[in-house]
């Protein structure tokens, strides 16, 4: 049985218990939310990664995406990126390779980390179609499902499958006059090209029951892909995007009825003033499904610093209800990320998730403790409370103060120390 089937029967599974303990909520809460499709628990039954819950009332999770491209194929580097993502505190990892032997790199990454690992099967469909049939658009329908099965049996824990792009979605895209920034989802672009070339419906939509049957075998979480996501802020929340969201909402319900856990993916590029609306609309339409956003990045003009721009977007999204945020790295929109980019990207996304959770879950205890430690000039406590203690330690070590309980910012004129003396004397 899948976790949602177990939950619907009123049973609390060991994985539900583990998630409840990690999140500090009751096991019954987790069971109820899983049964209603508002929380997913990731974990292919063949692989059993660390238990992880994504959804309502839980800490916002961070995803790091890695993978080769057709230009840079270095399996060792991808393994290093996977390890770094895990060490830096990513909650999930997406293996999105498109270059080299895709089966081999996926299997290696699945062995490298204990995190839940996700994929986008369409990438491999496109890659194999090109190699075997000469063009992506020549992929036979059967290949779509062959790849799905192969990845499920390898132990992949969640899959972004672009089921919500159908003839209606493409129609909306055409009627609205295409887009300022075009289609930026690789899966989305591939599907639209395939459907147009073959004058045929998206196989993942047309035979959605087959998708469900394959994923259900190993309790793989279906992440309903956002193939129409905006790749420019001027395209955010357009009709094609909303059409796909509506279809994904219906498919999500169907998946849950069939016993498959599912979440829905969101964009992309969204200006700050539209993020709250985007998240709340998605939550409302999907009956509070777990919502997975890619960034979002609230501007298009910060290549090199998109990881920082996306902190603003992801924090807002998390605040208003997004449950999983995908990192952006300094290489976003420019090149394939290197290991150092992964490290920075995960750190930035963790900051965003934390900031969002301060508002969403009202968690401010750590900030309170830090404020007291700072007031007390308790440097070891400050180090303990810091998210990134290696940076704290490095900066302090390279600029040691003359008076050990202060820092070199104000030195002997330490404001906290001066005031501390006054207040201590008054007591
Ligand atoms: S020296 Fe200045 S910055 Fe450093 S702890 Fe004291 S008040 Fe804060």
Centroid of ligand 1 to alpha carbon of 25 (angstroms): 38
424 pLDDT higher than 80: no
Range in 46-60, 227-241, 326-340 the model is least confident about? 227-241
The pick from 407, 408, 419, 421 for probing ligand 1's pocket by mutation, whose C-beta has the most ligand atoms within 8 angstroms, reads 407
Does 254 lie in the same domain as 400? Answer: no
Centroid of ligand 1 to alpha carbon of 263 (angstroms): 46
Residue 204's H or E segment, with its range, is: helix 203-206
- Whole-angstrom Cα distance, residue 312 to residue 317? 9
Centroid of ligand 1 to alpha carbon of 374 (angstroms): 9
Predicted local distance difference test score (pLDDT) of residue 223: 98
Centroid of ligand 1 to alpha carbon of 399 (angstroms): 13
State which ligand 1 atom lies nearest to the alpha carbon of 407. 4
Does 155 lie in the same domain as 101? Answer: yes
194 confidence band (pLDDT: 50, 70, 90): very high
Domain final residue pick, 326, 360, 394: 360
Q: Is residue 34 in a domain?
A: no
Does 402 lie in the same domain as 281? Answer: no
Domain final residue pick, 338, 360, 382: 360
Does 147 lie in the same domain as 238? Answer: yes
Once rounded to an integer, what is the mean pLDDT over residues 15-36? 98
In tens, the pLDDT along 229-278 reads: 888 999 999 999 999 999 999 999 999 999 999 999 999 999 999 999 99
Q: Is residue 27 in a domain?
A: no
pTM of the model: 0.96
Does 183 lie in the same domain as 117? Answer: yes
How many residues are there in the chain? 427
Pair 367, 328: CB distance under 8 Å: no
CATH number at residue 68: 3.20.20.540
Predicted local distance difference test score (pLDDT) of residue 425: 65
Among the listed residues 280, 324, 317, the one whose alpha carbon sits nearest the alpha carbon of residue 296: 317
Does 394 lie in the same domain as 264? Answer: no
Provide residues with CB under 6 Å of ligand 1.
406-407, 409-410, 414-417
State which ligand 1 atom lies nearest to the alpha carbon of 377. 5
Domain final residue pick, 360, 385, 413: 360
Does 419 lie in the same domain as 315? Answer: no
Centroid of ligand 1 to alpha carbon of 398 (angstroms): 16
293 pLDDT higher than 80: yes
Identify the domain containing residue 307 by its residue range. Answer: 60-360
Long-range contact pairs involving 176-181 (C-beta distance under 8 Å, separation at least 24) = 176/238, 176/239, 176/240, 179/230, 179/232, 179/235, 179/238, 179/240, 180/232, 180/234, 180/235, 181/230, 181/231, 181/232, 181/234, 181/235, 181/269, 181/300
426 pLDDT higher than 70: no
Predicted local distance difference test score (pLDDT) of residue 48: 87
Q: Is residue 258 in a domain?
A: yes
Q: Is residue 135 in a domain?
A: yes
Once rounded to an integer, what is the mean pLDDT over residues 281-285? 97
Domain total for the chain? Answer: 2
What's the mean pLDDT when you consider all of the chain? 96
Does 171 lie in the same domain as 234? Answer: yes
State which ligand 1 atom lies nearest to the alpha carbon of 401. 1
């Amino acid at each position: 049985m899948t976790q949602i089937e177990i939950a619907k029967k009123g049973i609390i599974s060991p994985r539900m218990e583990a998630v409840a303990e990690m999140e500090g909520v009751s096991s019954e809460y987790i069971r109820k939310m899983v049964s209603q499709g508002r929380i997913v628990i990731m974990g292919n039954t063949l692989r059993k990664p660390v238990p992880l819950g994504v959804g309502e009332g839980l800490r916002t999770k961070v995803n790091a995406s890695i993978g080769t491209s057709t230009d840079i194929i270095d399996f060792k580097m991808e393994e290093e990126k996977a390890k770094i993502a895990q060490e830096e505190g990513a909650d999930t990892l997406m293996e999105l390779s498109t270059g080299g032997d895709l089966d081999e790199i996926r299997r290696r990454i699945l062995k490298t980390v204990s995190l839940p690992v996700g994929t986008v099967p369409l990438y491999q469909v496109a890659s194999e179609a090109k190699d075997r049939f000469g063009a992506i658009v020549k992929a036979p329908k059967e290949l779509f499902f062959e790849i799905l099965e192969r990845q499920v049996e390898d132990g992949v824990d969640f899959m972004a499958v672009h089921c919500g792009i159908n003839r209606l979605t493409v129609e909306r895209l055409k009627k609205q006059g295409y887009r300022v920034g075009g289609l930026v989802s690789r899966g989305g672009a591939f599907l639209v090209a395939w459907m147009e070339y073959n004058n045929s419906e998206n196989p993942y939509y047309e035979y959605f029951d087959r998708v469900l049957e394959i994923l259900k075998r190993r309790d793989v979480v279906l992440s309903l892909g956002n193939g129409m996501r905006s790749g420019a802020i001027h395209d955010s929340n357009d009709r094609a995007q909303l059409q796909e969201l509506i279809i994904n909402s219906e498919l999500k319900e169907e998946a849950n009825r069939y016993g498959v856990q599912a979440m829905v993916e969101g964009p992309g590029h969204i200006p700050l003033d539209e993020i709250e609306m985007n998240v709340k609309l998605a939550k409302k339409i999907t009956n509070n499904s777990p919502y997975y956003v890619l960034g979002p990045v609230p501007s298009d003009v910060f290549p090199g610093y998109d990881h920082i721009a996306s902190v603003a977007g992801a924090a807002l999204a998390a605040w208003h209800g997004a449950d999983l945020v995908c990192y952006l790295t300094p290489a976003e929109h420019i090149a394939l990320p290197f290991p150092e980019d992964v490290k920075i990207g995960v750190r930035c996304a963790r900051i965003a998730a934390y900031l969002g959770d301060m508002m969403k879950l009202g968690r401010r205890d750590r900030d309170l403790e830090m404020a007291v430690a700072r007031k007390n000039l308790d440097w070891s406590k400050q180090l303990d409370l810091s998210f990134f203690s290696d940076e704290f330690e490095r900066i302090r070590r390279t600029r040691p103060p003359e008076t050990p309980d202060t820092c070199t910012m104000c030195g002997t004129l330490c404001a906290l120390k001066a005031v501390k003396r006054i207040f201590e004397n008054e007591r």
